[in-house]
Structure 1
Amino acid sequence: MRSKQLLSLTFFLFFLNVFILKAQNIQKEKQPLSAILNTLEKKYNISFSYADKTILNKQAKLPNNNATLKDALNTLEKETHLNFELLNNRFIVIKPAKKKRSSFRVQNLDEVIISNYLTTGLTKLNDGTVTIKPEAFGILPGLIEPDVLQTIQALPGILSTDETVSNINVRGGTHDQNLILWDGIKMYQSGHFFGLISAFNPHITKKINIYKNGSSAKYGDGISSVIDMQLPNTIDNEFKTGAGVNFINADIFAKIPLSKNTELQLSTRRSVTDIIETSTYNQYFKRIFQDSDFTNNNKGANTISQNESFYFYDISAKFLFDISKTDKLRFHALNVNNRLNYEEQSTINNRPEVLNSKLWQQNTAAGITYIKDWNSQLQTTALIYVSNYDLDATNHDILNNQRLVQENEVYDGAAKIDINYTHNNQLKINGGYQFTEVGISNLEDVNNPNFRSYIKEVIRSHAVYAETNLLSYGANTKLIFGTRLNYIKKFSMLFAEPRLSFSQRFLNNFRFEILGEYKSQTTSQIIDLQNDFLGIEKRRWVLSNNTNIPVLKSKQASVGIHFKKNGFMASAETYIKKVNGITTRSQGFQNQYQFVNDTGSYEIKGIDILLNKQFNDVVSTWVSYSFSDNNYIFSNLNNGKKFPNNTNIRHAITFAGTYTFNDFKLALGVNWNSGKPTTQPAETQNQSNAIVYKSPNNSNLKDYLRTDCSATYKFNLSRTTYASIGTSVWNILNRKNIINTYHTRDNDGNINTIENESLGITPNVSFRVYF
Structure 2
Amino acid sequence: MFFLRFSRQSIFLITLSFASPALAQQVRLSGRVLDATSGESLPFATVVIKDKSVSTQANAYGFYSLLLEKGRHMFEVSFVGYKRYAIEIQLDRGVTRNFELQPQSTELSELVIKGEGEGLSSDMIPGKNSLSVAQVKNMPTLGGEADIFQSLQFLPGVRTAVEGTTGLSVRGGSFDQTLVLLDEAPVYNPSHALGFYSSFNPDAIKSIDIYKGALPAQYGGRLSSVVDLRMKEGNDREFKLSGGLGLIAARLTAEGPIKKERASFIFSTRYSYAGLTANTLGNIAKSIKIKEFQTFKDDNDIRFYDLNGKINWKSASNKDHIFVSAYSGSDWFKYYLFQKGTFTKWQNNTGSLRWYHIFNQRLFLNSTLYFSKYNYRYNLLNDRRDFNWKAGLTEIGIKNEIDFFMGQGDVIKMGLNFSQTGYQPGEISPRTASSLTVPFKLESKRTLQGAGFVGIDKRLARRIMTNWGLRISSFALLGPSVLYNYNGSDVMDSTSLKNGKLGQFKWGFEPRFSAKYQLDSSRALSFAFTRTLQYVHLLSNSSVALPTDIWLPSNNNAGPQSSTLFSVGIKQKARMFVVGIEAYYKAMRGVIDFIDNADLFVNQYIDSQIRSGTGRAIGLETLLEKKSGRITGWVTYTLAKTDRTIAGINNGLTYPTRYDRRHSFSVVTSFQATRRLTFSTDFQFNSGGAASLPTTVYEYQGSTFNYYSKRNGFRLPAYHRLDIQCTFSEKKKWGDSQWVVGIYNAYNRRNLFSVELVPQDYNYFQYSAANAVSLYGIVPSISYNFKF
TM over 0.5: yes
SS at match of 1:492: strand
2:185 counterpart residue number: 185
- Cα separation, partners in 2 of 1:87 and 1:379, compared to 1, 3 Å: closer
SS at match of 1:652: strand
Deviation by residue 1:640-692 (Cα, 9 ceiling, x = unmatched): 1101111110111123432113232112233222111134544x875663333
- Cα separation, partners in 2 of 1:358 and 1:645, compared to 1, 3 Å: closer
Question: What residue ranges of structure 2 are gaps of 5+ in the alignment?
Answer: 1-35, 39-75, 86-90, 100-107, 117-122, 287-293, 431-435, 478-503, 601-605
Q: Which one of the candidate residues 370, 380, 383 is aligned to 1:385?
A: 370
2:644 counterpart residue number: 632
Question: What residue ranges of structure 1 are gaps of 5+ in the alignment?
Answer: 1-48, 52-82, 95-99, 109-115, 286-294, 298-304, 344-355
- 1:366 to partner: Cα distance: 1.1
Q: Which one of the candidate residues 651, 659, 664 is aligned to 2:677?
A: 664
Mapped contact 1:526–1:586 kept (Cα < 8 A): no
Deviation by residue 1:470-518 (Cα, 9 ceiling, x = unmatched): 24686x4321111110122332222111122211111321110112211
| Structure showing greater Rg | 1
- 1:87 to partner: Cα distance: 11
| Aligned counterparts, 1:323-338, within 5 A | 323-324=315-316, 325-338=318-331
Mapped contact 2:233–2:266 kept (Cα < 8 A): no
- 1:701 to partner: Cα distance: 1.3
Q: Which one of the candidate residues 293, 315, 319 is aligned to 2:311?
A: 319
Size of the aligned set, in residue pairs, is 640
2:755 counterpart residue number: 741
Mapped contact 2:563–2:586 kept (Cα < 8 A): yes
| Aligned counterparts, 1:521-670, within 5 A | 521-527=534-540, 537=546, 539-585=548-594, 596-613=609-626, 616-661=628-673, 662-670=675-683
- Cα separation, partners in 2 of 1:725 and 1:160, compared to 1, 3 Å: same
Mapped contact 2:312–2:322 kept (Cα < 8 A): yes
| Aligned counterparts, 1:210-359, within 5 A | 210-233=210-233, 236-260=236-260, 261-273=262-274, 307-324=299-316, 325-340=318-333, 358-359=343-344
2:17 counterpart residue number: none
For residue 131 of structure 1, what is the amino acid of its counterpart? S
1:480 counterpart residue number: 467
SS at match of 1:151: helix
SS at match of 2:651: helix
Mapped contact 1:119–1:138 kept (Cα < 8 A): no
Deviation by residue 1:426-468 (Cα, 9 ceiling, x = unmatched): 2111010000101111224255252513221111011101000
For residue 336 of structure 1, what is the amino acid of its counterpart? G
- 1:296 to partner: Cα distance: 11
- Cα separation, partners in 2 of 1:229 and 1:694, compared to 1, 3 Å: same
Mapped contact 2:378–2:548 kept (Cα < 8 A): no
- 1:360 to partner: Cα distance: 1.4
Comparing 160-169 with 175-184, greater Cα deviation is found at 160-169
Mapped contact 2:664–2:685 kept (Cα < 8 A): yes
Mapped contact 1:120–1:137 kept (Cα < 8 A): no
1:722 counterpart residue number: 736
1:69 counterpart residue number: none
- Cα separation, partners in 2 of 1:284 and 1:677, compared to 1, 3 Å: farther
| Aligned counterparts, 1:28-47, within 5 A | none
Mapped contact 2:343–2:381 kept (Cα < 8 A): no
Q: For 2:582 and 2:752, how far apart are their aligned partners in 1?
A: 30
For residue 566 of structure 1, what is the amino acid of its counterpart? R
1:139 counterpart residue number: 138
TM-score (norm 2): 0.74
For residue 477 of structure 1, what is the amino acid of its counterpart? I
1:161 counterpart residue number: 161
Q: For 2:676 and 2:224, how far apart are their aligned partners in 1?
A: 38
Residue 462, structure 1, aligned to residue 450, structure 2: yes
- 1:389 to partner: Cα distance: 0.4
For residue 627 of structure 1, what is the amino acid of its counterpart? L
Q: Which one of the candidate residues 401, 410, 424 is aligned to 1:418?
A: 401
Q: For 2:557 and 2:285, how far apart are their aligned partners in 1?
A: 37
Mapped contact 1:153–1:160 kept (Cα < 8 A): yes
- Cα separation, partners in 2 of 1:199 and 1:384, compared to 1, 3 Å: same
Q: For 1:585 and 1:145, how far apart are their aligned partners in 2?
A: 36
For residue 422 of structure 2, what is the amino acid of its counterpart? G
Comparing 699-708 with 240-249, greater Cα deviation is found at 699-708
Residue 428, structure 1, aligned to residue 411, structure 2: yes
Q: For 1:600 and 1:726, how far apart are their aligned partners in 2?
A: 48
Deviation by residue 1:577-633 (Cα, 9 ceiling, x = unmatched): 122222224999999x9995322232111111122345x521125432111111111
- 1:86 to partner: Cα distance: 11
Mapped contact 2:569–2:583 kept (Cα < 8 A): yes
For residue 448 of structure 2, what is the amino acid of its counterpart? R
- Cα separation, partners in 2 of 1:329 and 1:172, compared to 1, 3 Å: same
2:770 counterpart residue number: 753
Q: Which one of the candidate residues 491, 510, 517 is aligned to 2:523?
A: 510
Q: Which one of the candidate residues 715, 726, 734 is aligned to 1:700?
A: 715
Comparing 417-426 with 449-458, greater Cα deviation is found at 449-458
Q: For 2:542 and 2:670, how far apart are their aligned partners in 1?
A: 43
Mapped contact 1:557–1:575 kept (Cα < 8 A): yes
For residue 103 of structure 1, what is the amino acid of its counterpart? G
1:711 counterpart residue number: 726
Mapped contact 1:157–1:608 kept (Cα < 8 A): yes
Q: For 1:769 and 1:157, how far apart are their aligned partners in 2?
A: 34
- Cα separation, partners in 2 of 1:200 and 1:153, compared to 1, 3 Å: same
Q: For 2:779 and 2:92, how far apart are their aligned partners in 1?
A: 52
- 1:712 to partner: Cα distance: 1.1
2:532 counterpart residue number: 519
Q: For 1:626 and 1:117, how far apart are their aligned partners in 2?
A: 27
- Cα separation, partners in 2 of 1:377 and 1:145, compared to 1, 3 Å: farther
Deviation by residue 1:523-557 (Cα, 9 ceiling, x = unmatched): 22213699xxxx99364232324222222221211
Deviation by residue 1:284-334 (Cα, 9 ceiling, x = unmatched): 99xxxxxxxxx999xxxxxxx984543110101001011342111111100
Deviation by residue 1:399-433 (Cα, 9 ceiling, x = unmatched): xx212222121101001111111123321110100
Q: For 1:251 and 1:727, how far apart are their aligned partners in 2?
A: 17
Q: For 2:720 and 2:714, how far apart are their aligned partners in 1?
A: 18
Mapped contact 2:167–2:545 kept (Cα < 8 A): no
Mapped contact 2:678–2:726 kept (Cα < 8 A): yes
Q: For 1:269 and 1:254, how far apart are their aligned partners in 2?
A: 12
For residue 264 of structure 1, what is the amino acid of its counterpart? F
| Aligned counterparts, 1:107-126, within 5 A | 119-120=111-112, 122-124=114-116, 126=124
Comparing 276-285 with 406-415, greater Cα deviation is found at 276-285
Q: Which one of the candidate residues 404, 407, 429 is aligned to 2:387?
A: 404
- 1:151 to partner: Cα distance: 1.2
- Cα separation, partners in 2 of 1:253 and 1:107, compared to 1, 3 Å: closer
Q: For 1:507 and 1:394, how far apart are their aligned partners in 2?
A: 62
- 1:342 to partner: Cα distance: 9.4
- Cα separation, partners in 2 of 1:101 and 1:229, compared to 1, 3 Å: farther
SS at match of 1:397: coil
Q: For 1:768 and 1:101, how far apart are their aligned partners in 2?
A: 49
Mapped contact 1:273–1:281 kept (Cα < 8 A): no
- Cα separation, partners in 2 of 1:735 and 1:412, compared to 1, 3 Å: same
Q: For 1:556 and 1:279, how far apart are their aligned partners in 2?
A: 49
- 1:283 to partner: Cα distance: 12
2:506 counterpart residue number: 493
For residue 268 of structure 1, what is the amino acid of its counterpart? T
- 1:150 to partner: Cα distance: 1.2
For residue 648 of structure 1, what is the amino acid of its counterpart? D
Q: Which one of the candidate residues 342, 345, 360 is aligned to 2:345?
A: 360
Q: For 1:284 and 1:560, how far apart are their aligned partners in 2?
A: 50
| Aligned counterparts, 1:14-93, within 5 A | none
Percent of matched pairs sharing the same residue: 21
